[in-house]
Every structure is written in structure tokens, then in C-alpha cells.
Amino acid sequence: MKKTLKRWFQDKIGIGENRDKLALLEKRLAALATLEQWALPEVLPIPSEAVNEAWSATMDTLGLSEPWNACSRAIHRSDPMFRYPFQVHGGDTLAVLSEYFHTGAEAVLQVQSLAPNADRILDFGGGYGRVGRFLTAGFPHSKRLISDPKASAVAFQITHFGALADDQQPVDLIFAGSVFTHLPEADFRSTLNTLLGRLSRGGALILTLHEFQTNRFVYHPYTEESALRELEDVLSEDAYGSVYCSESFWRESLQASEGSWSYEILPERFGGTQLYVVVKGA
Ligand SMILES: C[S@@+](CC[C@H](N)C(=O)[O-])C[C@H]1O[C@@H](n2cnc3c(N)ncnc32)[C@H](O)[C@@H]1O
């Protein structure tokens, strides 16, 4: 009995002879995932019934019609904002699609309500366009710029959502959704300073952060990127982690930026969890 129990624990935690089996299985899965990735078309071939059902649910819940309904529904094969929840929820397509579309549309409604007349908008760290696809509906007459370290993401947003490559000129509105929740401390501070320097007079930076913590600044290397190494343009764990900070760290970083700035935390939450932080010239 004792031997059987010992063996059972070993199987569960992967020690002894089972450790190698688990490592082999992990490598086999990683190889299969890479092979599968090579075979995928750029736009995921998700059954249209599921896409349309999730899309309609989003439109109905948020009370949206045209031009929102006409936005592109294409999802890139390497979009971790879709792929990671899809993996975590064991392929529950409808739930994951609904959350994906809802998060993007709701964010644009939020941003639109804060700066309806923004002429030049930068979707900073916009990725593969979970949010960016809806900017054309929220800001039909504006120039919508995209920047992201992933070349494939920028290209996708330009081709499919009519975004423009970032020209580094001043902008009226910057949205950085779930970007500062990932940057190492030095990058967090320097990026904040750079983005504030891009704002035109009266402009606003809207970024998202995790709920403030008591710890000043914590960086964990594990993210959706580290869980999906097979995706293209994947980011390194040194440059992209999971970040939690205190409000005093945030205030300090803002005060250290050039210029004089004030901020407001909105009652709404990005994707249901992250704080919207709106920064404007004081
Ligand atoms: C969690 S994703 C969010 C993507 C998109 N904003 C959304 O909400 O769907 C974070 C994005 O930030 C980008 N990113 C990572 N490091 C960055 C940096 N230093 N500057 C700008 N963007 C960065 C990533 O490539 C990724 O697309």
C-alpha cells in the first residue's frame, strides 16, 4: 500500500523515473504546437457560426449597431489575447470569443467617451487588434496609428483594420491597454515619459494597470507569451512579464516624467479586471 501511494505521488509530481516522461511529454507538445502553428492560415479559421454568435452577443450586450457591426471579425493566428484564454478554457470557443470581442468594443466605448474629438489616436502596444478593430467605429474620422514591437501585429492591423504605422508625431489620444502591466521597471518609467512627451496640448494618455498592490513593484516572468512559445514574434521573459505595483510607485513614475501631469482612476475595469488610468496635463 505504502509503495503504491509513493508511486502515485511520484506520478503526480513527476519525480524519479516519471520526471523524464513529463519532460518528454512537454517537449512533444511544444513540437506539435509549433508544427500546428506552421500550418495555420494568418486569420484563424474559426467556424463562422461561433464568431457570429459571439459577435452578436457583444453587439446586443453593449447596445451597438452600425458602424460597429461592420468592424472586422478576423483574429490573427498568433494573437495571445485569443490563444491564451482559449488554451486556459480548454477550447471553449464561444466563451473566449465573446470575452475577446466584448473587451475590445467596451474599451473603445470607454476611450471614445473620454476623448470623442481626438483627431490622431495611437493604439500603443495594440497587438493584433482586439481593441484596434473597433477604433474605426468609435473614431471614423480620425487617424488611427498602431505601434507594437511585433512586426506581424502591426502589419495585421494595417491590412485588416485600416490602421496606420506610427509616424512618431504628436497625438491627441494614446491608449495603452494591458501594456504597462507587462513592462520591467526601467521600461515602465521610460515608456511613460516618452508617451507623455507625444501628447498634443489637451491630449490624454489612457493606460491600464492591475489593481494597486502594497508591494512597490513586482515583476514575474510568466505571461501568456511564455505559455505559448510557438507563436510568431514571441517576446522574451526579460522584456515582457507580469507587473504589479503600488499607487505610490505609479505616482512617483508620473512625477519623474517631464512635464506636470494629473491622473484619474475610472470606476470601470478593462477586461473586467484592470484599472483605467487617465493621464492629462495638470
Ligand atoms: C497584453 S498585450 C495587449 C494587446 C492589446 N493592447 C490588447 O489589449 O489586446 C500587450 C501588448 O504590448 C506589446 N508590448 C510589449 N512590450 C512593449 C513595449 N515595450 N512597448 C510597446 N508595446 C509593447 C506586446 O507586443 C503586446 O502586443
For the domain that residue 97 is a member of, what is the CATH number?
A: 3.40.50.150
Q: Are residues 35 and 167 in the same domain?
A: no
Residue 181 shares a structural domain with residue 252: yes
What DSSP character marks residue 68?
G
| Residue 274 alpha carbon to ligand 1 centre in Å | 14
Regarding whether 122 and 10 lie in a shared domain, the answer is no
Centre a 10 Å sphere on the Cβ of residue 169 and count the other Cβ atoms it contains: 11
CA-closest candidate to residue 134, choices 171, 163, 170: 163
H/E run at residue 96:
helix 93-114
25 and 136 inside one domain: no
Q: Is the CB of 179 under 6 A from ligand 1?
A: yes
Pocket of ligand 1 contains residue 151 by CB under 6 Å: no
Helix (H, G, I), strand (E, B) or coil at 262: strand
Q: What are the pLDDT tens digits along the chain (282 aa)?
A: 788 888 777 777 777 767 778 888 889 999 999 999 999 999 999 999 999 999 999 999 999 999 999 999 999 999 999 999 999 999 999 999 999 999 999 999 999 999 999 999 999 999 999 999 999 999 999 999 999 999 999 999 999 999 999 999 999 999 999 999 999 999 999 999 999 999 999 999 999 999 999 999 999 999 999 999 999 999 999 999 999 999 999 999 999 999 999 999 999 999 999 999 999 999
Neighbours of 114 (CB within 10 A): 16
Structural domain count of the chain: 2
- Are residue 15 and residue 84 in the same domain, yes or no? no
Asked if 16 and 142 sit in the same domain, the reply is no
* Residue 238: predicted pLDDT: 94
Residue with the smallest CA separation from ligand 1 atom 9 is: 130
CA of 125 to the centre of ligand 1 (A): 4
- Rounded to the nearest angstrom, the distance between the alpha carbon of 217 and the centre of ligand 1 is 19
Residue 81 beta carbon below 6 angstroms from any ligand 1 atom: yes
Let me know whether 48 and 33 are in one domain.
no
pLDDT at position 1 is 78
Contact 62, 109 (CB under 8 A): yes
> What's the CA-to-centroid distance between 176 and ligand 1, angstroms?
8
Number of C-beta neighbours around residue 98 at 10 A: 19
Q: In this structure, what are the phi and psi dihedrals at residue 257, rounded to the nearest 5 degrees?
A: -75, 150
In a shared domain, residues 114 and 184: yes
Predicted structure pTM score = 0.93
Residues 223, 257, single domain; the answer is yes
Range of the domain at 23: 1-39
- Whether residues 224 and 146 share a domain: the answer is yes
* 8 Å CB contact between 270 and 276: yes
Q: Kindly state whether residues 182 and 61 are assigned to the same domain.
A: yes
Compute the Cα dihedral for 28, 34, 35, 39 and give only its sign: positive
